[in-house]
Amino acid sequence: MTEKSLIEEKIAVFDENYPAVVSEIGAAAEKAGTDAGKITLLAATKTVPVEVVNHAVESGITVIGENRVQEYLSKYGELLPCTRHFIGHLQTNKVKDIVGKVDMIESVDSVRLANEISRECKKADKTMDVLLEVNIGREESKSGFYKEELPRALETVSGMENIRVRGLMAIPPAGEIEATKKFFCEMNQLFVEIREQSRYNRDVVYLSMGMSADFAAAVECGANIVRVGTALFGKRNTVV
Ligand SMILES: *Cc1c(COP(=O)(O)O)cnc(C)c1O
């Protein structure tokens, strides 16, 4: 297949999938008793060609999420205006490459990384919105804070200069939807507990969880950012 027809095909896939994803989010929001307008559909665009990403933005996607610094930078110059989140594991030595180029880093998984973000943002005279990633399934293969580490991490990172903690993010273990829902509910409980503390209540407003297989369940459990890739763009050609 030529590159052009590949892009056309991916655009057709997106056009077919997008309304269905939006309506599924709407139904889940209704079930949860929330306003669908309060849920952000973040398009997870790893491996998706920039032409297709731009088509999604022109179609109504307002927030995109990228996983890899190098891939993001290669798309950066051509991307249409939209809100950009970094959602992948970020190495401290790459922080400087994306400061000023992303609106939020959702995947802050260590105090060391937060420190580096704070340092680089201070140098650049910027402030970065971040989410703290929680390893809710306690998986060794995944990064993120264990829930018992969260209160201290939150306090430490919130005290850093040029960084603003806006909420929590999680990727629960892959599995049956009922098990996944339990993790989503546990995340929601952590989120609510944090928001009950007046010192965090103003800034901590985002709960980012739910992907293609489970975004409706996530919304039902209180997510207000869902990160959806495959269900919008179809199967990824390359493994990331
Ligand atoms: C790829 C990715 C997603 C989207 O995954 P899909 O299953 O394709 O919807 C969401 N969040 C993160 C952190 C990702 O890396």
Dist CA 225 CA 30 (whole Å): 16
Q: Provide the whole-model pTM.
A: 0.96
Average the pLDDT over 170-186 and give the result. 97
Strand partners, 133: 169
Share of the chain above pLDDT 90, in %: 95
**18-39 average pLDDT score:** 97
- pLDDT grade for 123, boundaries at 50, 70 and 90: very high
Residue-wise pLDDT tens digits, 66-102: 999 999 999 999 999 999 999 999 999 999 999 999 9
pLDDT tens for each residue of 185-207: 999 999 999 999 999 999 999 99
Atom number in ligand 1 closest to CA 107: 13
Strands 225-228 and 40-44: parallel
Task: Give the pLDDT score at 4.
Answer: 74
The predicted structure's pLDDT at residue 1: 62
Atom of ligand 1 nearest to the CA of 106: 13
What value does the mean pLDDT take over residues 39-64? 98
Dihedral class, residue 135 (left if φ above 0, else alpha if ψ from -120 to 50, else beta): beta
The tokens for 194 are 């944090």
- Mean confidence (pLDDT) of the chain: 96
Residue 139 scores a pLDDT above 70? yes
Average of per-residue pLDDT across 139-162: 97
Q: Return the closest-CA partner of residue 13 out of 39, 42, 41, 48.
A: 48
Ligand 1 centroid–CA 199 distance in Å is 31
Q: Spell out the alpha helix ranges (H) of the chain.
A: 3-32, 50-59, 69-76, 95-98, 111-124, 150-158, 177-195, 198-201, 215-220, 230-233
Is the Cβ atom of 230 under 6 angstroms away from ligand 1? Answer: yes
Residue owning the nearest CA to atom 6 of ligand 1: 229
Share of the chain above pLDDT 70, in %: 98
Residue 240 has pLDDT above 60, yes or no: no
Q: Counting atoms of ligand 1 from 1, which one is nearest the CA of 42?
A: 10
Give yes or no for residue 29 CB within 6 A of ligand 1.
no
**Under 8 Å between Cβ of 63 and 88:** no
Q: Is residue 100 helix, strand or coil?
A: coil
